[in-house]
Amino acid sequence: MNKTDHTETGLTDHSGLYETINFHGEDPIRAAEGNPQGGRTKAGAISNSWVGWGSPDQDRPLPQPSINPDEHLAMCRKYARRILDRYQVGEKEAETRSAIRDFLVSTGMVNASEVREEYPPSKSAGGQAVDLVAGESFFEIKVRISALDGFQPHPDHVGQLDGYLKESELEGRVRTGILTDGKYWLLRKPGMSGIRTEAPYGFELENPNQGLALFEWLREQIVTSPDPYPPTSDEILRHFGPNTIPYQTDIDGLTEVYKTYADDPTVKVKRRLWEDLLKAALGEIEDTPEGLDRLFVRHTYLGATISMILQASFGIPIEELAANNPTDLLAGRQFRQSTLVVGVIESDFFGWPGESEEGRLWLRRLADRVAGFDWENPPGDVASVLYQTVIPPEERAKLGEYYTPDWLAREMVRELVDDPLGQTVLDPACGSGAFLAQAISHFTESARTAQIEAPQALDKLTGAVIGIDIHPAAVHLARAAWVLAAKSLIQEAREQGHSGSITVPVYLGDSLQLLYRSDDLFAEHSVTIDVGNESNTQLVFPRRIVEQADRFDQLMTKIADTVEHGYDPTAALGNITDPSERDTLVDTIQAMQHLHSEGRNHIWAYYTRNLVRPVAIANRKVDVILGNPPWIAYNKTVSTLRSELRRLSQDQYGIWKGGHYATHQDVAGLFYARSVDLYLKPDGVIGMVMPHNTLMGGQYEKWRTGRWKGPGQTIRVDFSDRNWWDLEPLEPNTFFPIPACVVFARFEGYSGDRASALSQKVTRWTGPAGSDDIYRFTITLPLLSDKESPYKKLSRQGATITPRRLFFVDEVPNPTILPAPEVITVRPRYSPYDRPPWNTLDLTTITNRPYERSHLFDVYLGESVAPYILLEPLQALLPVKQIKYTIPAKDDGVGGIDMVDLKSAMRRRWEAISHIWDENKTAANRLNLLQQLDYYGKLSAQLEWMRQPGGRPIRIVYTTSGFPTAAMVENEAAVIDTSLYWIKCTDNYEGYYLLSIINSKILLELVKWLMPKGQFGARHLHKHLWKLPIPKYSPDHPLHRQISEAGRAAAVGVAQQMTRLREEREQVSMTIARQEIRGWLTTSREGLTVEELVEELLVAG
């Protein structure tokens, strides 16, 4: 939309909007015609002269305009001036009301016939009257809405309007309210709490030039679409997203209901069970009880909205239902009776608003808004879109919620489901339902291709695509996705005479089977659920009946209904003939009766039959498992489950790595293994989205063997059945918090030798994520030797020369005429990377002072290194004497130094910086300055080598992170900083051998697989470099000698390139040097030779 700034008024000309205005050539007030007041009026029905704001490409007819934008702007200003004139002189309310009426009608917002003055808010108003009613909006007009200066509406005035809105709502009409005195305009909605005057809740008309702005504000609040809104992502965000008035009003209203009934036993138990399941799904949630309450309210809002959308999509008149039986909007009885679709809309954790009058009023308001959309053919991911609209990305990231994109789910389904009509597919962590929807789409396409009758296909589908998730809100999304994906088949089957019920097989279940006992010695014949109350109540069910899913569902439904209505629930046990099973169920029924008497209603029937459904699925197994398991680290899982999760990983499956990997281990590998064990048929296949470090990370080492050994049995899978997918190169790679891969396997059973570890062949995906331009190609992973490279023990990190401003210096001119020999004048070196508090300290005492050169050392940092060559070193003054290369340490000395052994100027400097260190280090830091400088002996180790290099007189250095970069250090007296690692070499031949390997592109590609990946790419090179099979240099090995010679040639070529760069440029930065050198290595004969030889060493060899 083009906008032209009107600089003289400060307004914006929305010229693209005006073509929807049409006065049909008549005076808008005199030309009033049309609709009588009453009934629910859409915007187009309010006025024949107003068709609503919309762009020309909207799917509705637009009249030809008979008024241009400038004329409309002038009209808005004219009538705004009349309103303000009456405000300024304090006219009676009737005069202001008349001016507002003229504004609404003359600007084309409403038709004059639809404006009522002094109109009762309800049939039982008892003499009360709203000042002005326009369409579906109440205007309450005062001479002044505030007794104080400014926009501070009096609570009595607000309360009066709120009362009118409530009266109207009780009779089934949801209105919008505007409180105004002509200058200040306040929006009110039914159930709105508090008084908010900021935009968009309030508007201040300061001068007539704001007439168009007032028109737009009113239009946004009181004019709805002439046609139902399309359920697009943008429209859903506009009407249901955070920071919108409708959303905030809904949440405020529901929050008030929750606060009122939070201590109700039914609400309390639902809230507790919701939190328990949410923590089981997401791990420990870093939030306060109040924060979790707010999330519970929003999940309830989502559950209610999704339920209404699904019902509306099947033709259920939700407004009518809201008026007559709002509780059923959440219970779904009419939906089940009308559609025979079962297991979608049920009274679950989010059904509590229907249990109070205030909650039922809230449901009516929400239903009124939901009904404003055209849900006949909503997009299949509408529930997921709604969820991601209401729960913003930053909060989903905090909770660890990341849903699989449709394009990836589609590709995985097509990869594994090769017989959709003959295979049973399970997603044991179904989340938003992406895999379910894609599997159903694949099924229905195949059924039509095979010309299978719709009724037969539908019956088959209900057992063919199954979902489980323990996340209470996610199950709503998945059920919606399943139903909407199958909707066309359901409709077609009904048209062809299908009359049976359809049970949607998506369950709020525990796929890991940890929340109940079902697989230990005592659970051989039963399944036990701990209620978690003070009485330690347990619900115990015969396992044989639980495994008969449909029978168990029917039994639990009957028991719940009889308990709720006060009948004898044991009558539901008529078909239970086994005495022990009957006795078990009688005890359980008594426990459920007791829970019901405490006000905890029949949530336990819903909870139980869903939670244990995995037992039944495990009994019959499936052909294909697809999904995206939780990526929660073990130390972030909920404490009540953590020990059991580790026990399963360590004892049941033997995949626990432990040691220094313990903190990196996550639940994803265990979820994968347990899904295979519990649910997959022998020869069945599984594919799951996994963290990228699954491919090479040490914590997955045992898991990657494909043999998961526990007491009594070993699970065997074939990981080489098909290539795994590497998704890391896709851009933008933001669909998960860290890069991902997809891991496929075939289940080979529990016996025999058929098991294959991860193949070295991996399919890498590159290109724009989700596009048709993705390119796939096969690469070879590096072979990891059982032992680390011998160079790991020879590499050592450089010295911690920090805080840098106390040690690093820049030379400055000596102002004296005859400077002393062997003395240098310096100042502290400034760097933009200096950290507080050191970057802001007053260092006058060590600035522009002379010091002895014998304490000055060249220091190489990461920024001093480019491939094969060193750049300029920095310089630092250290409490070390050159030639002797010793630190005069003394425990009780100043900063740990024996001052006698320092030169006089250096002595004064050390005393000054030691004082600065002690005054500014953190309270937790107990190190003196020497202990900080020689942390872990990293400086002493270098000095020892300088004194006695032994049989390793050559050093090479390499960077700690980023692109592997290495160079040879020929200055024996140079100090290596902590941003580099250094290795002692026997001679130059070994040095060039290592330089060739570390600087090669092939090493970069191989080591990337081992390095953790965050938002800024691979890091921690030093921890992973020597996991590659890099053998110690041997002069007797022909390939080693060739690599060394190639490295020497590359170093000579790099030196020549640097000479050229320095001749061409006044300065050559580290970035430019590295960029130019790597470019040369990529194309030069020397660089290509290195790559060829190193690849032979690391990959082929």
Secondary structure of 941-1009 in the HEC alphabet? HHHHHHHCCCCCCEEEEEECCCCCCEEEECCCCCEEECCEEEEEECCHHHHHHHHHHHCCHHHHHHHHC
Q: How confident is the model at residue 1022 (pLDDT cuts 50, 70, 90)?
A: low
Q: How confident is the model at residue 642 (pLDDT cuts 50, 70, 90)?
A: confident
For range 984-1009, the mean pLDDT: 92
**What is the C-alpha radius of gyration for the chain, rounded to an integer number of angstroms?**
37
**pLDDT value, residue 4:** 35
Q: How confident is the model at residue 24 (pLDDT cuts 50, 70, 90)?
A: very low
Most confident region among 54-68, 739-753, 1008-1022, 1061-1075 by mean pLDDT: 1061-1075
**pLDDT value, residue 5:** 37
For the chain, the straight-line distance linking the first and the last C-alpha, in angstroms and rounded, comes to 63
Tokens of 810: 């820049």
Residue where the block lists tokens 């998506």? 506
CA distance 905 to 910: 9
CA distance 997 to 1032: 12
Neighbour tally for 422: CB within 10 Å? 11
Tokens of 19: 């073509």
Q: How confident is the model at residue 31 (pLDDT cuts 50, 70, 90)?
A: very low
Tokens of 436: 């379910």
Q: Which residue has the higher pLDDT, 835 or 1046?
A: 1046
Q: Which of 66-80, 375-389, 780-794, 1013-1027 has the lowest mean pLDDT?
A: 1013-1027
Enclosing H/E stretch for 396? helix 393-399
Strand partners, 1017: 1014
Residue where the block lists tokens 């089934």? 172
Three-state secondary-structure class, residue 661 = helix
Question: What percent of the chain clears pLDDT 70, i.e. is strictly above it?
Answer: 89
CA distance 288 to 52: 44
Q: Which of 412-416, 465-469, 534-538 has the lowest mean pLDDT?
A: 534-538
Residue type, 879: P
Give residues with Cβ within 8 angstroms of 692, minimum separation 6: 726, 727, 728, 738, 739, 740, 741, 1013
Q: How confident is the model at residue 785 (pLDDT cuts 50, 70, 90)?
A: low
Q: Which of 709-723, 788-802, 1066-1080 has the lowest mean pLDDT?
A: 709-723
878 to 513, 709, 913: CA distances (angstroms):
62, 56, 11
- Helix ranges restricted to H, 107-244: 155-170, 211-222, 233-240
Judge contact between 372 and 312, C-beta under 8 A.
Answer: no
Please provide residue 866's backbone torsions phi and psi, each rounded to the nearest 5 degrees. Answer: -125, 165
205 to 6, 82, 87, 970: CA distances (angstroms):
18, 12, 10, 77
Q: What is the mean pLDDT of the chain?
A: 86
Q: How confident is the model at residue 300 (pLDDT cuts 50, 70, 90)?
A: very high
pTM for the model: 0.74
Prior bond of 353 cis (ω within 30°): no
Give residues with Cβ within 8 angstroms of 548, minimum separation 6: 616
CA distance 510 to 284: 17
Neighbour tally for 925: CB within 10 Å? 12
Question: What percent of the chain clears pLDDT 90, i.e. is strictly above it?
Answer: 55
Any idea what the Cα angle at residue 289 is, between residues 288 and 292, rounded to 5°? 90
Comparing CA positions, the residue from 620, 627, 402, 426 lying closest to residue 507 is 426
CA distance 529 to 273: 12
Give residues with Cβ within 8 angstroms of 117, minimum separation 6: 97, 101, 131, 132, 133
Judge contact between 482 and 437, C-beta under 8 A.
Answer: yes
Tokens of 1089: 């030779």
Any idea what the Cα angle at residue 580 is, between residues 576 and 582, rounded to 5°? 35
